[in-house]
Structure 1
Amino acid sequence: MENVKYVLKAILLVGIVSLIFSNVCFANHAEGEATHHSPGGVLFGITVDSNTGEPLGWTQLLIAELNRSITAHDDGTFHFFSLPAGVYTLKTFRVGYQDLAFKVTVTADDTTEITLALTGAPVAGKAVTVEGDRDDLLSALTRADVEVSGKKLRQNLGRTIAETIDSEPGISQRTLGPAPARPVLRGMGGDRLLVLEDGERTGDLSATASDHAVVIEPLAAERIEVIRGPEALLYGSGSLGGVINVARGYVPATLAHHVNGAVSLQGESVNRGYSGGAFLNAPLGPLSLRMDGSYRDARDIATPLGDLPNTAIRTLNGSAGISLVRSWGYVGTSGSLYESDYGIPPDSVAGHPGGVRIDLNRRHLESRAELLPRSGWVRRLTLRHSFTRYRHSEIEYSERLGREIAGTGFDVLTHHLSAMMRFNQSGIFRNGALGVWGEFRDHSTPAGRNLTPRSNEYAGAVFGYQEANWQRFAVNGALRFDVKQVRPRENLGDVTQAGRVRERSFRGVSGAFSGIYQPWNGFYLGATALRSFRAPGIEELFSVGPHLAVYTYEVGNADLAPERGLGLEGFLEVRHQRGHVRVAAFRNDISNYIFPENTGKRSSRIYSLFEYRFSGKNALLSGIEGAFDWQLFQRWFAGGTFSYVRGELRDSREPLPRIPPLEGKLNLRYQAGQFSLGGGMNAAAAQNRIGRFESTTAGYVAFSLFGQYNFSAGGLFHTLSLNAGNLLDSEYRKHLNWVKHIMPEPGRNVRLLYKMFF
């Protein structure tokens, strides 16, 4: 397996380099073909500095209504081809400059020329999610609660998606070693927090257990956004915690005018790890091509007490997509692979004494079509289908046999099918949407290696979404109806420790409403109410058996009812030219909260394992969080976040397990043009409110330094990002780390990222 991965890595990297050079050679020919054979209007422009008038290359531009984006040439020029006639919002994103929006009018079969003057950004304010033509008030209501992109993404880029966004308010990470980290938002993880890639589910099993990794490589991410409230219901009914969407751009939506892309290299000291990746956009006549690839290799992670054994990781990731782009829209397809081999550290107290190695792979195919009607009330119609095959083996070393043996295994086939219409503005109503979504999952793990019976899962939903605003008020709302059916294909009628194995069906309605009021400019007051519905999964219903990597004996509950939650949130936000401040308080009341509960008893079948039974109990999670980023002086800025959540069983007042403590982060930075340098502090209080059989966790303070420099040279745009974490090599532990009793968090770590745009 190891040799195969190295061969694949070499082939992938050579292929990327060859493709870059071949497309550079034929770029002018392709550009000419695209220009002469593309029906519809053309938008040609140049981005310049508003003060000096100098061209600004590598600016990202997005036509919000059409969801089409491109990157400007190094001389600042750009082209959009095959545009239907109309008035559009053109948004710009460029490192060191403010994110701006311009109104442009495109005429049929003609070229529109425009000059965009960009203004230097005084402060790295909160980013805005781009999803249509919205005024400032609606943007304050509907933008992503958190967006990590550009400079911020490069500065915080970690080994996993969870580590990359760990510094954001309300977000923690559940870990069992460095590889299988998964985000936790406001104390909620698993299926209560959807992790999506390009707006669709990944087909992995990271939500079901702490040893299962998220199959998204952060090095390939273009943008990471956290979505809560009514917009979250566009993606799922059980997302009371919210939705984390990683934008990657598998299927190109825009006809590229020239070859462009980026190459990234990253190294870090704490695990002697390195990673590298590249992506490429290129025109092929009327077609647009996108390719990317990355490789990550790291050894055992170092802590102040020594190396944490069996935590090495190797991951290979790549994709290719192609689209036909016309004025009526586009149709495209893509394919991707993700392979990872990582370790779960040995745990003689509460885990596998020898550690477990996990070998997983995912194959993903996706097709997408987006149609742009030239008139009427439909702005955009999007059709999607994806197929994913996910395989996962947990491998242990047998001293008796003297070799590795495969233990628990998973083999899941997933189909997703969806259609969604976005509507044009009508009076006070904007950005309406109506859609349907379907899912089929085939759990077909080989007999003898599965925790659950072979089963099929069917799920479907219909949903609607709408925004409206008038004067100083804005509202948005969503309604969703879901059905789900679990059909075991074996052991039907058998009575196991989980109960009688049988077909289960669930249905439920979820909805959300959010409103915001702007009493004066830059000051916002808002509230959200959300009703969620989550049907139990096959693992929660029918699991019976040992789970090697987490060293538990899991017993499902075939009689589980669905979860139903009521979430309430109020927030206050201040936005000023010097920065922003946001504070939110929330309360999530969940009936039949499903979780694996440690019974404190040894399994009668395997005495060395504790028995965990899935149960549904009423729970309450409430808390407060906040964030700010403010310009103190001309070139000095301060930022920070804090979050606190309290979780308990509503009837007994017993604390819920795996709830993060009070956490806070502060940073101070100096910024001069394309150079920035700063320091930060991360702190957490002790967690003494613990669930049964949990242990307390002491508080800690850790310090960091970071810096970034951007420059243009040789017709290319370069960025260097430096991050030094745990500067004092402090020994501390995080409450959501499942192996905290073995080793503390990683020691001092110096991480350097170089990225070159062409």
Structure 2
Amino acid sequence: MYTAERGSSVETVVVTASPISKHIDDTAAIIANVDRDAILSSGGGTLADALANVPGVSGSGFAAGASRPIIRGMDSARVKLVENGLSSSDVSDVGPDHGVPIDPLSTQNIEVVRGAATLRYGSQAIGGVINALNNRVPVTLPDKTLSGEAEAAYASAANTGEVSLLTDIAAGNFAIHADGFYRNSGNYGTPLGTQANSFFVGNGFALGSSYFFDAKDHTGLALVQYDAKYGIPSDTTYILMRQTKLISRSAFEIGAGPLQTLTVDGSYANYSHEEKNPDGSVNTTFKNKEGNVRIEQLIGALGPFSSMAVGFEASNRDYSAIGADSTYLYPAITNTFAGYVFADTPLGKRLNLETSVRLENVHISGTPASGLRTGRDFTPISGAAGLLYTATDWLKFGLTASTAGRAPAQTELFARGAHDGPGTYETGDPRLKTERANSVEATARVKTGMFSFDLSLWSSWFDNYIYGDQTGRTCDEAGICSVGGNDLRELFYRQSAAHFRGLEGKGRYQLWDAGTGVLSVEFQGDIVRATLAGGANVPRIPPWRAGGGLAWDSDAFDAEFQVMQVGKQTQYGAFDTATPGYTDVSARLSWPVMDGWEIDLIGRNLADQVERNAASFNKDTVIAPGREVRVVLRAKI
């Protein structure tokens, strides 16, 4: 609704980038925050769908139920997916056909962190962090005895129906949270006809409660269940996924000298999915049992530091598979222990220094193609320093330098066979070394009453960059390979120097203030270029995007219209294919029908363009949904 500060971050405090609480515009790197309104407007059953309008973020687009976020051209083991700071605990990093058991309908905010601030989450976050935020374990006592939100929606492209409910209850010293959702989508339509086997059905619930000893001290637990069934549109198989997760969150005010709040968060998840044939028979069952804990101590002013935080993190991951694809990756166990320090240091009235360092030990054991059980130990050390210069009340500049290490993932080390989802025959290398990214990022922010603009210019130089190198040969299920004639592309995990660089920007300018409403122009864009040593292209890098539109905000109604041009991808990896560009047209109309009730009418791909995702393994056979109209009804109490 109408506000002179729409699109700004007046009340937004970041929780992902640093354990030290600060305003979203007071960090050296730019952090994106997607709120509940934008999440519900986006539609789709994945986090990548909800982040489609964030510069620098795209999705793998493999299936309606499996589109993992990509940050600055980096995906899989380089992008950490967390829920309230704790691991998503799935196998989406093992294959692009594997979904993430976090539905946008259960999420209230999503933070996207890129650059040096990712050190808090370890070596598997070298490209960035996606943090889905919700109140499943309440961290504040509600102001009202009962509050909540209900939502129902219909979307035309796949005859999608969905409902969700979130509620919070205050009962004495207890805060109680419950949420649930159900989503049912058929095979979606495209400009070329119906995309076969593209359906998605998902549901889930959470029940959690916290006890508050006083306003600051609390401890709580939540039980979370997620279930989904979705088709693989480049195949005839479908996936039946389930996860049960237990989450705990606690915070205690120490109040001993500089020692302030101590937080202890942990989770344990039991995940499995079955890859099934059309007749219901099971090809492969993937399992993942994972636990993780994070302990952080916030420290007040100490010496030159205005605030500090010291943290410890530990995780255990037990992966296994049974069935036809189980030979692709034999059982693997990953144990991680890490310690980190964050500090803020004011260097005068207008200059602030952020520093962080992380020491991590990763032990991974598995069975490579040699058949000999192998264990590897890695000790990535990472550090970063960021300067924020506040030139005026409305202009800020940031500069960040970092060096971050990443331990190879289990797939990169131990893959040893056919993987039907992406259509590859993969071989890992148990001799891989620690991957290191040395990065620099410059940012600029402008925030005035009429104009806002965020800009990031960044570059990352990799040593021992790990990538899947296609040889041009194809293989059968037994690993017999030749030039052509088989279904599976031969791929080896190798290391090389690499250079990633890019630019991201987003802005808004107020054209007219009518007193009862404001008309603004919005614009955004991003570009990534990624090359290996010798100039070869890194595979599956998203193309450039640029666009904008108009937005009207008033008490009576809100309206937006946007045109986004997505470029051709002609700089593709070896044995890949070019991807044509397209123009995406979208619109939204939102109005309150009565107190607490709102209706949204949203149009996507209104020009009914053929949209192929350059970052997807199956882009040659799968295209995105065509023209869609989405209706959302929301009610709040």
Q: Which moved more, 1:516-525 or 1:380-389?
A: 516-525
Mark the CA change 1:262 to 1:464 in structure 2 (over 3 Å): closer, same or farther: same
Paired residue for 1:109?
Answer: none
Give distance in 1, aligned partners of 2:21 and 2:233.
Answer: 49
Counterpart amino acid of residue 295 in structure 2: A
| Structure 1 position 687, deviation (Å) | 1.0
Paired residue for 2:268?
Answer: 387
Paired residue for 2:277?
Answer: 396
Counterpart amino acid of residue 336 in structure 1: V
Paired residue for 2:482?
Answer: none
* Cα deviation 1:541-590 (Å, max 9, x = unaligned): 11112212222222111111121111111122211111311222111111
| Structure 1 position 210, deviation (Å) | 1.1
Give distance in 2, aligned partners of 1:428 and 1:711.
Answer: 54
Alpha-carbon contact 2:389-2:397 (below 8 Å) kept: yes
* Cα deviation 1:80-116 (Å, max 9, x = unaligned): xxxxxxxxxxxxxxx65xxxxxxxxxxxxxxxxxxxx
Matched, 1:432 2:308: yes
Paired residue for 1:110?
Answer: none
| Structure 1 position 680, deviation (Å) | 0.6
Mark the CA change 1:567 to 1:135 in structure 2 (over 3 Å): closer, same or farther: closer
Q: How does 1:221-240 map to 2 (within 5 A)?
A: 221-240=107-126
**TM-score under structure 2 length normalisation:** 0.93
* Cα deviation 1:224-275 (Å, max 9, x = unaligned): 1112344321122342322111101221122334011111111100000111
Q: How does 1:88-107 map to 2 (within 5 A)?
A: 96=2
Counterpart amino acid of residue 719 in structure 1: E
2:507 match: secondary structure: strand
RMSD between superposed Cα atoms in Å:
2.1
Alpha-carbon contact 1:498-1:543 (below 8 Å) kept: no
Alpha-carbon contact 1:731-1:744 (below 8 Å) kept: yes
Matched, 1:703 2:585: yes
Q: Which has the higher contact order (CA 8 A, sep 6+)?
A: 2
Matched, 1:600 2:472: yes
| Structure 1 position 719, deviation (Å) | 2.4
Paired residue for 1:160?
Answer: 46
| Structure 1 position 406, deviation (Å) | 1.9
1:341 match: secondary structure: strand
Mark the CA change 1:252 to 1:142 in structure 2 (over 3 Å): closer, same or farther: farther
Residue among 172, 181, 201 paired with 1:294 = 181
Alpha-carbon contact 1:175-1:181 (below 8 Å) kept: yes
Give distance in 1, aligned partners of 2:436 and 2:370.
Answer: 22
Paired residue for 2:338?
Answer: 461
Q: How does 1:695-734 map to 2 (within 5 A)?
A: 695-710=577-592, 712-713=594-595, 717-734=596-613
* Cα deviation 1:93-152 (Å, max 9, x = unaligned): xx65xxxxxxxxxxxxxxxxxxxxxxx43432246334599787x843268611111433
Give distance in 2, aligned partners of 1:166 and 1:139.
Answer: 22
Give distance in 1, aligned partners of 2:284 and 2:417.
Answer: 9
Give distance in 1, aligned partners of 2:117 and 2:305.
Answer: 15
Alpha-carbon contact 1:223-1:246 (below 8 Å) kept: yes
Counterpart amino acid of residue 475 in structure 1: L
Paired residue for 1:268?
Answer: 155
| Structure 1 position 449, deviation (Å) | 4.6
Mark the CA change 1:206 to 1:444 in structure 2 (over 3 Å): closer, same or farther: closer
1:678 match: secondary structure: strand
Paired residue for 2:438?
Answer: 566
Paired residue for 1:15?
Answer: none
Alpha-carbon contact 1:477-1:512 (below 8 Å) kept: yes
Mark the CA change 1:365 to 1:693 in structure 2 (over 3 Å): closer, same or farther: same
Paired residue for 1:59?
Answer: none
Counterpart amino acid of residue 335 in structure 1: L
Residue among 73, 79, 87 paired with 1:193 = 79
| Runs of 5+ consecutive residues of structure 1 not aligned to the other structure | 1-94, 97-119, 347-351, 398-402
Counterpart amino acid of residue 742 in structure 1: T
Give distance in 2, aligned partners of 1:396 and 1:259.
Answer: 45
Matched, 1:414 2:290: yes
- Percent identity of equivalent pairs: 25
| Structure 1 position 480, deviation (Å) | 0.2
Mark the CA change 1:655 to 1:130 in structure 2 (over 3 Å): closer, same or farther: closer
Aligned pair count reads 618
Alpha-carbon contact 2:401-2:440 (below 8 Å) kept: yes
Give distance in 1, aligned partners of 2:470 and 2:336.
Answer: 30
Give distance in 1, aligned partners of 2:130 and 2:21.
Answer: 22
| Runs of 5+ consecutive residues of structure 2 not aligned to the other structure | 480-485
Matched, 1:637 2:520: yes
Paired residue for 2:225?
Answer: 337
| Structure 1 position 178, deviation (Å) | 2.0
* Cα deviation 1:585-611 (Å, max 9, x = unaligned): 111111111122222222262543222
Residue among 454, 475, 488 paired with 2:353 = 475
Counterpart amino acid of residue 8 in structure 2: G
1:539 match: secondary structure: helix
Alpha-carbon contact 1:636-1:670 (below 8 Å) kept: yes
1:746 match: secondary structure: coil
Alpha-carbon contact 2:435-2:466 (below 8 Å) kept: yes
Alpha-carbon contact 1:674-1:711 (below 8 Å) kept: no
